[in-house]
Amino acid sequence: MSKKARALVVEADTPVATLMTHVLKRAGCDVQATQDGQQGMEWAQETKFDLILLGVDLPGISGLEICRELKQRHICRHTPIILVAGDDGAATRQHGLEMGAADFIEKPFEATDLIFRIESHLKVETHRVLASEGLQA
């Protein structure tokens, strides 16, 4: 039996955070959520997550800065981060991907699109972990 994937949601917009948490739980994930960017960064550095959904517009510290910091840390280096932002345009998307994000989704988004992206990144992460352990899926 496989373990539940662990996911972290860091999003300041309460309805969006609630939706993302619900979608992750429906996908079978064990979810931790916060609206505080600093707390999210601390949790990500202390716990190995399989996926992080990270809002760009957070009070205090930008989601882009958190992404950059986490991608420099050993525990988070390979963790897929999906950045979530308003329609900031192509520049924010490009900057996020340059910082190491695996994906970028614009608000508002369809729950089905989020589910597809979550499942896709979790599959990729599972295959990467198994390959690093010399196993096959």
Burial of 2 by CB count in 10 Å (0-12 exposed, 13-18 middle, 19+ buried)? Answer: exposed
pTM: 0.87
Domains and their CATH numbers in the chain: 6-131 (3.40.50.2300)
Q: What is the DSSP string of 46-99?
A: HS--SEEEEESS-SSS-HHHHHHHHHTSTTTTTS-EEEEESS--HHHHHHHHHT
98-135 pLDDT, tens digit per residue, is 999 999 999 888 989 999 998 888 887 655 554 555 65
Amino acid 81: pLDDT:
96
3-52 pLDDT, tens digit per residue, is 789 999 999 999 999 999 999 998 889 999 999 999 999 999 999 999 99
Amino acid 1: pLDDT:
35
50-90 pLDDT, tens digit per residue, is 999 999 999 889 999 999 999 998 788 889 999 999 876 67
